[in-house]
Amino acid sequence: MIAYLDCYSGISGDMTLGALLDAGLPLDELRAAVGRLPVRDYALEAERIVSKGISGTRVTVKVDEAAQPHRHLADVLAIIEAADLPAAVRQRAGAVFRRLAEAEACIHGQPIERVHFHEVGGVDAIVDVVGAVWGLDRLGVERVYVSALPTGGGKVRSAHGPIPVPAPATLELARRAGAPLVASTVEAELVTPTGAALATTLGEFGQPPMRVSAIGYGFGRKELPWANALRLWVGESTEAAGQQDQVSLIETNLDDSTPELLGAAMERLLGAGALDVFFTPIQMKKNRPATKLSAICPVEREPAIAGLILAETSSLGVRVQRLRRYKAERWVSYVPTPWGRLAIKVKSFRGQVSVAPEYDDCLRVAREHGVAAAEVYRVARAAAAEADLRPSVEEYPRDAEHDGRDAEDDARQ
């Protein structure tokens, strides 16, 4: 099951809850789930409304604003971890607040541990985030996609006084995620920091091919020229399995690293799970020739790869983007040759198949048997043309000098 957040009128935490309820999430189950949080003195209410000819659900989390403390990230994470909820829900909800804290820390020029959550640290924001994450899990949603985010305009009140729209945290979250932004014709805050944190943490941007089975409208409180709602589409993907995923691109500019250290960093990054690492010559300030280090990795390896770049190079910071990736089907097969079996990388896309002998395997055979590598390649290609190249269940063999990373990386990329 997948979900698409159609943010034509923006997104907030309560709009997300409303859309989930409108799409079929049972209200009593949602109340029971957020009731496992160790917080009290709030009420979660939902009402059916009709606006501009469209019906939907509006959610309100009522709290005593005057009694809300200014929590730090650690306080919020402790509340989430103490809840009797599935580990995956706690982890994803915590990730939403971590991403929000990183954005706030950047804006205020403070360490992440010192950031005070003002508007987003209250019980209502915690209920919104945990409820949204739990609700998606309850509906069986495995992947979330998000439309472009409308910027809105004007100013909004905050604990620090009037601030421009999009709020600084919202804009920083969008920048970090590479989120597409579109102009709006109204002066109003359409995307809140909580909504931006949910969208950029849980989702990937772009409309997926899908078969829609449920639609939910989650209404906000502002009166706009249109029905002010977040529209949630829930259904099944119509795209072939395994043909699309999301990766992180992590980059930094270096003007004081030697080629030896860069080479060592590349080996460490590949060993830590990077799918690819490459260098680009660039020109930096003071006309210094420099190198841009780029690492592509699975989203779940993003923190580890970013940390490794900071530890292994002179970088003071890295940039991260989430990228949507289309992939051809690929696998490793084996063919017989006069020197034994050789690994063949096979690519299949829209019925067309292409093959390439595995470099490490060919080089090993050439060295062991005193044969030119070009001859090994020729024989392997000829054997592949006659072979049944079905996927092999065997793991690619490794040796002391070549660890089989080419085949392994090609299979992941």
pLDDT at 403: 40
pLDDT digits (tens, 9 = 90+) for 22-41: 999 999 999 999 999 998 88
Rounded to an integer, the average pLDDT of 329-343 is 88
pTM of the model: 0.61
Distance CA(128)–CA(19), nearest Å, equals 12
SS3 at position 42: strand
Percentage of the chain beyond pLDDT 90 is 62
pLDDT digits (tens, 9 = 90+) for 97-152: 999 999 988 888 888 887 777 655 578 899 999 999 999 999 999 999 999 999 98
pLDDT digits (tens, 9 = 90+) for 166-178: 999 999 999 988 8
pLDDT at 399: 39
- Alpha-carbon torsion (59, 145, 74, 315), positive or negative: negative
Structure-token pair, residue 26: 């049972």
Classify domain 244-326 at the CATH class level: alpha beta
pLDDT digits (tens, 9 = 90+) for 247-258: 999 999 999 999
pLDDT at 66: 63
Rounded to an integer, the average pLDDT of 323-349 is 87
Of 239 and 229, which is predicted with more confidence? 229
Rounded to an integer, the average pLDDT of 374-398 is 73
With a cut of 90, say whether residue 162 has pLDDT above it: no
CA 274 to chain centre: 15
Distance CA(262)–CA(279), nearest Å, equals 9
Amino acid at 291: T
With a cut of 70, say whether residue 404 has pLDDT above it: no
With a cut of 50, say whether residue 396 has pLDDT above it: no
Contact (Cβ atoms closer than 8 angstroms) between residue 253 and residue 303: no
Domain topology for 329-412? Ubiquitin-like (UB roll) (3.10.20)
Q: Which of 68-72, 119-123, 409-413 has the highest mean pLDDT?
A: 68-72
pLDDT at 114: 77
pLDDT digits (tens, 9 = 90+) for 255-281: 999 999 999 999 999 999 999 999 999
Distance CA(35)–CA(42), nearest Å, equals 10
Q: In what order do the strands lie in the sheet with 340-349?
A: 329-337, 340-349, 352-357
With a cut of 50, say whether residue 397 has pLDDT above it: no
Distance CA(84)–CA(289), nearest Å, equals 54
| pLDDT band, very low/low/confident/very high, at 391 (cuts 50, 70, 90) | low
Average per-residue pLDDT for the chain = 88
pLDDT digits (tens, 9 = 90+) for 187-205: 999 999 999 999 999 999 9
Distance CA(124)–CA(16), nearest Å, equals 13
Distance CA(212)–CA(1), nearest Å, equals 10
Provide the phi-psi class of 113: left if phi over 0, else alpha when psi is between -120 and 50, else beta: alpha
pLDDT at 160: 65
pLDDT at 155: 80
The phi, psi pair for 199, rounded to 5°, reads -65, -45
Give span(s): CATH 3.10.20.300, the chain: 329-412
| pLDDT band, very low/low/confident/very high, at 402 (cuts 50, 70, 90) | very low
pLDDT at 47: 96
Strand partners, 246: 324
Strands 143-146 and 203-205: parallel
pLDDT digits (tens, 9 = 90+) for 71-97: 888 999 999 999 999 999 999 999 999
With a cut of 70, say whether residue 318 has pLDDT above it: yes
Of 326 and 31, which is predicted with more confidence? 31
Strand partners, 247: 298, 323
pLDDT at 218: 97
Give span(s): CATH 3.30.70.1380, the chain: 244-326
SS3 at position 39: coil
Contact (Cβ atoms closer than 8 angstroms) between residue 203 and residue 6: no
Distance CA(217)–CA(229), nearest Å, equals 6
Burial label, 390 (beta-carbon count in 10 A; 0-12, 13-18, 19+) = exposed
With a cut of 80, say whether residue 395 has pLDDT above it: no
**For the residues of 98-131, what is the DSSP string, one character each?**
HHHHHHHHHHHT--GGGPEESGGGSHHHHHHHHH
pLDDT at 65: 67
Rounded to an integer, the average pLDDT of 290-303 is 94
